[in-house]
Chain A
Amino acid sequence: MILRVYVLAYMVFLYAPIVLLPLFAFNDGTVIAFPLQGFTTRWFAELPQTPALVQSVRTSAIIAVSAALLSTILGICAARASARYDFSGKRAVLGFVMLPLVLPEIIIAVSLLVVVLALGLQLTAFTVILGHTLICMPFSIAILNGSFSALDRSLEEAAVDLGETRASSFRRVTLPLIAPGIVASLLIAFTISLDEFIIAFFLTGTNPTLPVYLWGQLRFPAKLPVVMALGTILVLSSVLLLCLAEWARRRGVARTGRMDGGFLG
């Protein structure tokens, strides 16, 4: 009973910031505090009229799509190698590619910045894409590992016995079975990249990403209600993407008929 109450209180703690966000986004006052002043949608109406914001959304979308594609492709390679093949140094190699998961992001950010400086390169959206791919890759691998290890190897062997080549059996048998995992990986990587701040902050060129733009706005009290409106849209879209990813993941689990281990579990 005490445990139940505690867990409930903990969930309130977890959800408090997200629940407050829409309250302030629709609040007809410039100060982000209680008491609320009444209902308005004008902060939302201001959003599309801010060219710098629209530009940063475009930049972030390009970066997030590219990072999601790259990290999923690399994730498929790593997860397939891990599930299907045995080779010397396998554990070390696959452990190493998961390393960005536990390194402080600021270390990744500054070390990439130093290389860019040392090589005399320009900071562009491309440098951000590379950094984001690096931190998304472990998540893609973890998700795709689930899909590949649930795969029944005899299905592929049967396809080869029935005259398919290795490539065509991968395309016609394996790929459809892991498709939900691929969708989940794309969505998760997209969400991570869209929200990532530190690496983008250090590596962004002249076009800031959405979080970097947001960071700049947080300094101006007058801009805060618009930031709250933007935040509400961001939270809603992340939740939507995650529900899609979870749905895809569960469908994948159902397809291969394995026990459900839970999200990222």
Chain B
Amino acid sequence: MGAGADRTERIRGWSLAAPPFVFALSLLAIPICTIMLFSFWTQDFLTLDRNLTLANYAEIATDPLYRQLLVRSILIAAGVTLATVLLAYPVAYFVSFHVPQERKSLWLFLITIPFWTSYLIRVFLWKVILGFNGVLNSALLGLGVIDEPLGWVLYNPTAVVITLAHSFAPFAILPIYVVLERIDRSLLEAGRDLGETRVTTFLRVTLPLSVPGIVAAVLIVFIPTIGDYVTPRLVGGPDGLMIANMIQTQFLRLNNAPMGAALSVVAMASVGFVAAIFTLALSRWLRAPR
């Protein structure tokens, strides 16, 4: 084919890609730029002051309340990520290495089903499970494991971590599974033939080769959890509230959109920063195998 055919190819490709691209540009890129602009404005009761200023950021930096919320959000998100990925890895490993080929998609389907069912109701049911008179306490009391209900499982950061580890389970399982599936099984046999045990083969072959999946799982769990609003609100109690709850309060309760915008920008920047550090730290294992 000549250059002319190449050109039509390119034009056709672009005109097909254009509608989704323009849509995402106008509903994602432009709004995010707008929110950055808003964050440099200030709200004085009912009037919006359009003079550019760093006042909102200064307030976030100095007010201990905002700093505490931000630090707590990052810590809770990190805890959720750790718990979710640790709990998910053996499941991904099981499906990839122990489930027969023809049953694998059924297993993946079973793992994703709970994720697709009403998010609000799922979180609310965790409140029911973890509550003082809840399912967990009743069961433990009934079994005689404890004498009085545990009060510490609901309305604190632990409850947030448990509930979010449930919500984000498939986000951790699927990327790890995909990477495990790609591992050349003959490498494992080679390891065994060379005298490694099952455990050392896992530690020295399978685990290092699955790092890209773990990194993907960590990022895909960590980034959205920081912005979760429902879970901290329903099961977190006063000590489990996160940055999204404050963003909502600023926008919808205090009518202070610029402050909410500044908090959103700071939250995005923190997430990006932590994610970048993490990816850099593990970059040694992320390079394509030789």
State the A residues within 8 Å of B (CB): 3-4, 6-7, 10-11, 13-18, 20-21, 24, 31-35, 73-75, 77-78, 80-82, 84-88, 90, 93-94, 96-97, 99-100, 102-108, 110-115, 117-118, 130-131, 133-134, 137, 141, 191, 195, 197-198, 201-202, 211, 214-215, 218, 227-228, 231, 234-235, 238-239, 242, 246, 250, 260-265
Contacts and interface: CB of A to CB of B under 8 A. Distances in A.
B35 interface: yes
Contacts of B30: 115
B100 interface: no
B193 to A, nearest CB: 23
B109 A246 contact: yes
Contacts of B227: 104-107
Contact of B91 (A10, A215, A262, A264): A10
B9 A21 contact: no
B226 A218 contact: no
B135 A34 contact: yes
A93 B133 CA distance: 52
Interface stretch (B62-70, B116-124, B184-192, B205-213): B116-124
Contacts of A115: 30-31, 34
Contacts, number: 248
B114 A262 contact: no
Interface in B88-134: 90-91, 93-94, 98, 104-105, 108-114, 116-122, 124-126, 128-129, 131, 133-134
Contact of B121 (A90, A93, A117, A214): A214
Nearest to B36: A111
Contacts of B268: 104, 107
B138 A17 contact: no
Contacts of B133: 31, 33-34
Interface stretch (B19-27, B52-60, B150-158, B278-286): B19-27
B247 interface: yes
Contacts of B256: none
B129 A17 contact: yes
